[in-house]
């Protein structure tokens, strides 16, 4: 999936440049040449090179200065020093300053091929390690897609058909329906499965830092930019980038994202050097993007670029046949985690779960089962184990297993008010318990005109 490796040779000896270029071109690499340090640096700043061969003894700008500038612009790019035996000490000093290796003249074609392969493999591993560190720092546990309902079978059929393609997919659905999980499944069954899957949470990133997170920045490009940073697009190169809750991005980022989709290249903040990126784009939202386009809050051209294959995830209330399977799955998961041996759930408790409409969808169901496993006193989960402490005394307020029935909106409002009161208005905790994000909680507080001073 990755594009052909691009190599830059900077040497003032034309014979050396020609010989190296012929060998590397025959190996399938794209090669560019420069005879002076400043010329080579200008090329390096304009284009995305995977490897540089640099002679230290150059007319004009010295090789060591060129190396220092290259390490500031793109520290991950391996630079191999070309040197004569008389200047080995300089080559060793260059390695202390960040050069990958040195190659003394004269060298054979085999030596050139070998050091090139080794350097490019080192660069690949560097990016892979960057991705793994990113995943560890932002670890999100996910499970296999579970569902035998006709609604979910329809979704999975689309996933199976779209996954092997390169098409952009827009996943829609309410909060907690498993949009990221479906995106991961698409990536897992794609030709990019061995490459990174990078998540961009558009609702969590600060607007002022969004551009830096996506495209990266060079050292010194703004206050606080103490080192060069790789953006999410660079980390995802060769793989898939997933924009979660993409409706949250502002007009400025919308315009820049559209350009990336069209040109397949990004530019770090503080640099004018375009970097080619080979990524598949998936996006998700719980908003009606078409309506946002109509209201002028989302770019129409970006919407059509994202909505190549639309995929809608049904809410849990429309796939209740899947609730018993999900409950069993979550019971096993939290049994292992809590080191308990809950054997199952009572029929009346399962009935209440099936009859409840789950405004927080699968995320809310999972949180409910996790609490139930922790709170359960016996070997089975019963009705009183399904809700938080003190709310359990009044379960009928939230689980409609008998008359008088109330509207979903009334129940949701009362439930949110009760949990807010229980946790003294701590919105982060309440959002987690409800299985929704803080933005959605705020929207519901406004919708139901809940007085936070009374909670």
User: Of the candidates 385, 393, 389, which has an alpha carbon nearest to the alpha carbon of residue 419?
Assistant: 389
pLDDT value of residue 401: 43
CA neighbours closer than 13 Å in the CB half-sphere of residue 358: 28
CA distance 75 to 78: 8
pLDDT value of residue 130: 65
299 pLDDT band, cuts 50/70/90, is: very high
**Is the whole-model pTM more than 0.75?**
no
DSSP string, 42-76: HHHHHS--SEEEEESS-SSS-HHHHHHHHHHH-TT
CATH architecture of the domain formed by 150-314: 3-Layer(aba) Sandwich (3.40)
CA distance 251 to 269: 17
pLDDT value of residue 3: 55
Taking residues 296-308, what's their average pLDDT?
Answer: 95
pLDDT value of residue 306: 96
CA distance 241 to 239: 7
Taking residues 345-363, what's their average pLDDT?
Answer: 88
141 has a pLDDT exceeding 60: no
What are the pLDDT digits (tens) for 194-234? 889 999 988 777 766 788 888 888 887 777 777 777 889 98
Cα 250-255-261 angle, rounded to 5 deg:
120
What are the pLDDT digits (tens) for 370-386? 888 988 888 898 887 87
What residue ranges of the chain are covered by domains with CATH 3.40.50.2300? 6-124
Maximum separation of any 2 CA atoms in the chain, in Å = 94
393 pLDDT band, cuts 50/70/90, is: very low
pLDDT value of residue 291: 94
> Which homologous superfamily is 6-124 in?
Response regulator (3.40.50.2300)
- 317-454: CATH, from 1.10.1660.10, 2.40.50.140, 1.20.1250.20, 1.10.8.60: 1.10.8.60
403 pLDDT band, cuts 50/70/90, is: very low
What residue ranges of the chain are covered by domains with CATH 1.10.8.60? 317-454
115-129, 132-146, 255-269, 433-447, range with the lowest pLDDT? 132-146
What are the pLDDT digits (tens) for 59-112? 888 889 999 989 888 888 899 999 876 566 787 788 888 898 888 888 899 999
Please say whether the beta carbons of 267 and 215 come within 8 A.
Answer: yes
Please say whether the beta carbons of 359 and 414 come within 8 A.
Answer: no
Cβ atoms within 10 Å of 124's Cβ, excluding its own: 14
What are the pLDDT digits (tens) for 235-284? 899 999 999 999 999 898 999 999 999 999 998 888 888 888 999 999 99
Kindly provide the b/e burial profile for residues 202-228, where b requires at least 16 CB atoms within 10 angstroms of the residue's own CB.
bbebeeeebbbbbbbbbeebeeebeeb
């Amino acid at each position: 999936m990755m594009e052909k490796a691009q190599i830059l040779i900077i040497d003032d000896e034309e014979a050396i440049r020609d010989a190296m270029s012929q060998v590397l071109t025959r190996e399938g690499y794209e090669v560019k040449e420069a005879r002076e340090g400043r010329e080579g640096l200008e090329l390096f700043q304009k284009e995305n090179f995977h490897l540089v061969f640099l002679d230290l003894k150059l007319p004009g700008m010295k090789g060591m200065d060129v190396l220092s500038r290259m390490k500031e612009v793109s520290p991950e790019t391996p630079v191999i020093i070309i040197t004569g035996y008389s200047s080995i000490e300089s080559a060793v000093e260059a390695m202390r300053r960040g050069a990958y290796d040195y190659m003394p003249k004269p060298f054979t074609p085999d030596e050139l091929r070998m050091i090139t392969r080794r350097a490019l493999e080192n660069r690949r591993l560097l990016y892979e390690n960057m991705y793994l560190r990113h995943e560890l720092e932002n670890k999100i546990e996910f499970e296999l897609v579970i569902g035998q309902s006709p609604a979910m079978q329809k979704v999975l059929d689309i996933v199976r058909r779209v996954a092997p393609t390169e098409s952009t997919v827009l996943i829609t659905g309410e909060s907690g329906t498993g949009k990221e999980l479906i995106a991961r499944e698409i990536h897992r069954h794609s030709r990019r499965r061995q490459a990174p899957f990078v998540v961009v949470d558009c609702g969590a990133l600060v607007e002022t830092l969004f551009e830096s997170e996506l495209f990266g920045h060079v050292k010194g490009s703004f206050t606080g930019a103490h080192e060069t940073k790789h953006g999410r697009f660079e980390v995802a190169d060769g793989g898939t980038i997933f924009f979660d809750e993409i409706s949250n991005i502002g007009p400025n980022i919308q315009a820049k994202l559209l350009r990336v989709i069209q040109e397949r290249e990004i530019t770090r903040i503080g640099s004018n050097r375009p970097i080619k990126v080979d990524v598949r784009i998936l996006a998700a939202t719980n908003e009606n993007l078409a309506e946002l386009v109509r209201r002028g809050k989302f770019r129409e051209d970006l919407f059509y670029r994202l909505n190549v294959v639309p995929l809608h995830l049904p809410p849990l209330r429309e796939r209740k046949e899947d609730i018993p399977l999900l409950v069993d799955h979550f019971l096993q998961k939290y049994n292992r985690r809590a080191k308990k041996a809950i054997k199952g759930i009572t029929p009346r408790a399962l009935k209440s779960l099936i009859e409840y409409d789950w405004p927080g969808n699968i995320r809310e169901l999972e949180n409910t089962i996790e609490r139930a496993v922790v709170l359960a006193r016996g070997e089975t989960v019963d009705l009183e184990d399904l809700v938080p402490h003190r709310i359990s005394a009044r379960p009928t307020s939230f689980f409609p297993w008998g008359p008088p029935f109330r509207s979903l909106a009334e129940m949701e409002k009362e439930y949110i008010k009760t949990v807010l009161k229980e946790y003294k208005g701590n919105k982060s905790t309440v959002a987690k318990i409800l299985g929704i994000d803080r933005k959605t909680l705020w929207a519901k507080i406004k919708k139901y005109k809940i007085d936070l001073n009374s909670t």
